[in-house]
Amino acid sequence: MQEEAEKKDDMIRCTKSLKRLSLFIALCISISFCLILFPRLSGKTKKNLKIKAKPPSKRDYIDDKLHDGFFVHEFDASYQRKNFSEEEIQKPRVFLGNEKKIKQLHNECVPLDTWGGTTPICIYDPQEDRMISAFIKDKRTWEQNLLNATSAILLSHPELTFVDLGSNIGAYTITAAKLGRRVFAVDIMEDSLTLLKHSLDLGKIRDNVTLVLNAISDTRSQFRVNVVEHNIGGSHIKEIDAVKDKDIIPVQSILMNDLLALNIPRNVFVKMDIEGTELRAFQGGGRFFDQLNVKYLLMEWMLHRSKAKTAKAIIHFLLSNGMLPYRDHEQKLPLPHGGYVYWPDNVFWIKR
């Protein structure tokens, strides 16, 4: 009996160690499998990628020292633009001021510090316009890093005319005008242009500034202005509702191309802050980019990060017009255009 029991015990021990052994062997096999398989797999993937990434016919290489060679901008000249015929041109509505309006607006004019010196800027009631007007009243500036960059660009490029699309009450326009520049400022809000004109008059810097009361889009039609409560700078255009909007004063939209009717000098720096309608502006701006030399373009990117379709179309349009995206105006920090989701709130596009 005892012998048998011992035999049984031995058998059990034996099967147990056999099981352990086979487990161990299985483990060894799978590990070596992994070791053999994965380097090969990744090697293969790399090879495939290399084959796929054939250089396109035209390419732009940014200075390797600046970006460690990790990124190459591809240049694609195949972008198809919409064609707009000449006779359609819609004359921009040049705004000459509204003396009655300036008295109606509950406004005050406060100092704005610029690189050309301090000059008045007339603001909305800061209780009402809590974003921009309130900030300027407290800090005597707005988006100071960008205003500084704008000033630095203008000072180092005396040939540039400043085109301010979506000027609002004109922190940028006033800054450029104070530096003695020719400026074209466009906005959808008559009140904002009224305040801006008043600021320019007070600062005696109105001579070289043209104010335009229009929306910039890809069609020439009429829109309703949607004023955003507590943030007048966030106002934007909306399709007109035939019933609800029958008593409103609409704003006329024009194409960016139509601005050429103002005889803008050839070399320009465009600042664009038009609340999400940038792609539409570009779609109506092919001739603007052809006829003028847009050397710098500063645009808000915040709204485009999450919109792949428009973001890609904007990138495509600007690359095909010879512009490259940067985080800074000194071209030290190029932005990989595939990574537009991570681009900063504002992007500098600079002519190659």
Ligand X SMILES: *[C@@H]1O[C@H](CO)[C@@H](O)[C@H](O)[C@H]1NC(C)=O
Contact set with ligand X (CB under 6 A) = 80, 83, 144-145, 148, 180, 205, 207-208
Min CB(53)–ligand X separation in Å = 30
Nearest residue (CB) to ligand X, 57 versus 80: 80
Q: Which residues pair with 326 in a beta bridge?
A: 334, 348
Nearest residue (CB) to ligand X, 69 versus 158: 158
Nearest residue (CB) to ligand X, 295 versus 304: 295
Nearest residue (CB) to ligand X, 205 versus 298: 205
Residue 34, CA distances (Å) to 151, 244, 330 in order: 58, 67, 48
Nearest residue (CB) to ligand X, 15 versus 144: 144
Min CB(118)–ligand X separation in Å = 11
Helix 171-178 and helix 190-202, axial crossing angle in degrees, nearest 10: 30
Rounded-to-integer distance, Cα 227 and Cα 214, Å: 15
Min CB(349)–ligand X separation in Å = 21
Closest CA to 216 of 101, 98, 86, 93: 93
Classify each residue of 12-32 as buried b or exposed e, where b means 16 or more C-beta atoms within 10 Å of its C-beta: eeeeeeeeeeeeeeeeeeeee
Nearest residue (CB) to ligand X, 83 versus 306: 83
Min CB(86)–ligand X separation in Å = 10
Beta carbons of 327 and 344 less than 8 angstroms apart: yes
Beta carbons of 237 and 251 less than 8 angstroms apart: yes
Min CB(144)–ligand X separation in Å = 4
- The DSSP string of 148-187 is HHHHHHHHH-TTPEEEEES-TT-HHHHHHHHTT--EEEEE
